[in-house]
Amino acid sequence: MKIHIRTEQYGFIEEDVDSVLDALIILKEVKALFYGSEASKLTDSEWRSALDTYLTSNTMHAEQYANMSAIQKYVIQEIKKSVKRIEAKK
């Protein structure tokens, strides 16, 4: 059977697998490659603090951003885009 693992908006990796277990193993490996390990992320309290600071002042320390996981960075980027859209409508 073939599985498709989404890697970006229009991109994916296609892989032939023999079983569901093989599919899960490959999925875990690909996610680790694309999103990094859980060690490379802000802690919950650091994340909340960085998010609160960004939402109130639209600023963020470069060091905080560099220490975020890919998912945390994605959330910040989506918030940035949203703020720009809202400000453009004013």
Q: Which amino acid is at 54?
A: Y
Give the β-pairing of 2-6 and 12-16. Answer: antiparallel
Q: How many CA atoms are closer than 13 Å to the CA of 34, on its beta-carbon side? A: 15
pLDDT confidence of residue 81 = 92
Q: Do 12 and 30 sit in the same domain of this protein? A: yes
How many distinct structural domains can be found in the chain? 2
Q: Do 19 and 54 sit in the same domain of this protein? A: no
Q: Do 82 and 49 sit in the same domain of this protein? A: yes
Q: Do 77 and 49 sit in the same domain of this protein? A: yes
Q: Which residues contact 78 (CB under 8 A, 6 or more apart)?
A: none
Which tens digits make up the pLDDT trace of 4-32?
Answer: 888 777 888 888 889 889 888 888 887 77
In which domain, by residue range, is 67 found? 44-89
Q: Do 24 and 53 sit in the same domain of this protein? A: no
Which tens digits make up the pLDDT trace of 58-80?
Answer: 888 899 898 888 888 889 999 99
